[in-house]
Amino acid sequence: MSTTPLKIGFIGLGIMGTPMAGHLMKAGHQLFVHSLPSIPADVVAAGATACGSGREVAQRADIIFVMVPDTPHVADVLFSETGVASGLTAGKTVVDMSSISPIETKVFAGKINDLGCDYLDAPVSGGEVGAKAASLTIMVGGPQAAFDRVLPLFQLMGKNITLVGGNGDGQTTKVANQIIVALNIAAVGEALVFASKAGADPAKVRQALMGGFASSRILEVHGERMIKRTFNPGFRIGLHQKDLNLALQGAKALGLALPQTAGAAQLMQACAAQGWDQLDHSALVKALELLANHAVAEAPAA
């Protein structure tokens, strides 16, 4: 772990970014932060310095983290008129922890490299729970030297940290992760809808399956959410839709078929059509329930 306090920038203080930035501050690092629509008051109260733009963050920090929703947001944070790139000087490091396009990531990295700075793409898995617990899985693309320099900071936010390869490979790994998660959610949803409509107690079916080869983290966590109807977001359907769209766009560019991914994306689109895109991605089961005209379980009484 790093013991020397560093000047760190953090842009994007949302559900994930706020606790991640908090871990960096608790370790004694000096944070310069920027976020839209506003910087959370508790972050400033904890000791962070509020900045008016990405440029100011880049001017004041040596390592700049970005954690925003989508590819256009990263482009804006980095390359707008008052963006990070306009405040960089040679030798600094930009670390994008958002989940965005691997193709665009390579373009962004090239532009930052042209300024004499290193770029790491380092998307995460683990959701809000992992962000708060500092147990995120972090998938990194970029040069070894930059990875080694930032690793002590990654270790403050996550547990399973892997340098996968060059720039873009971190984002490719995250897209692969999101394919697996989506298909597992769909599989658990179909199984529980089937069991419930057949007359079995879905809670007891899940309990039995947890002891067998079908056991998974998705069955454990999201299966419980489907049964208890707790769809408050840890990771929203709308964001998972974005990630599956990245997968399908990449598949088209690579000339390959991802039929199961396309099916999961359509189930999420059905949820979005019902206005459920702000629910947790475990609520994908609600699209399956519509098709079956049967809910896995009744909502608990208010």
| Residue 2 pLDDT greater than 80, yes or no | no
Average pLDDT over residues 49-71: 97
302, pLDDT greater than 70 = no
Render pLDDT for 206-230 as a digit per residue (tens, 0 to 9): 999 999 999 999 999 999 999 999 9
Tell me the C-alpha distance between 125 and 55, whole Å: 28
pLDDT of residue 300: 81
Position 1 pLDDT exceeds 50: no
Give residue-wise pLDDT tens across range 145-159: 999 999 999 999 999
Closest CA to 240 of 295, 177, 187: 177
Helices and strands: H and E segment counts in the chain: 13, 9
Global pTM exceeds 0.75: yes
* Antiparallel, parallel or unpaired: β 124-125 and 136-141: antiparallel
pLDDT at 142: 98
> In which band, very low, low, confident or very high, does the pLDDT at 4 lie, cut at 50, 70 and 90?
confident
pLDDT digits (tens, 9 = 90+) for 258-271: 999 999 999 999 99
Q: In the annotation, is 242 catalytic?
A: no
Q: What pLDDT sits at residue 3?
A: 62
Of 111, 159, 174, 197, which residue is the catalytic one?
174
Q: What is the pLDDT of residue 127?
A: 86
Residue 108 near residue 136, CB atoms below 8 Å: no
Q: Is 299 left (phi over 0), alpha (psi -120 to 50) or beta?
A: beta
Residue 5 tokens read as 């306090």
Exposed/middle/buried for residue 199 (C-beta within 10 Å: 0-12, 13-18, 19+)? exposed
pLDDT band at 175 (very low <50, low <70, confident <90, very high): very high
Cα torsion through 77, 78, 79, 80, rounded to 10: 20
Q: SS3 of 136, please? A: strand
Token pair, residue 291, equals 């098709």
Query: What is the DSSP track for 2-69?
Result: --S--EEEEE--STTHHHHHHHHHHTT-EEEEE-SS---HHHHHTTPEE-SSHHHHHHH-SEEEE--S
Alpha-carbon distance of 202 to 189, in angstroms, equals 11
Q: What percent of the chain has pLDDT over 90?
A: 94
- Can you say whether the dihedral through the CA atoms of 234, 237, 242, 246 is positive or negative? positive
Average pLDDT over residues 106-125: 98
- Chain-wide mean pLDDT for the chain? 96
Residue 71 has pLDDT above 60, yes or no: yes
Q: Phi/psi at 98 (nearest 5 deg)?
A: -70, 165
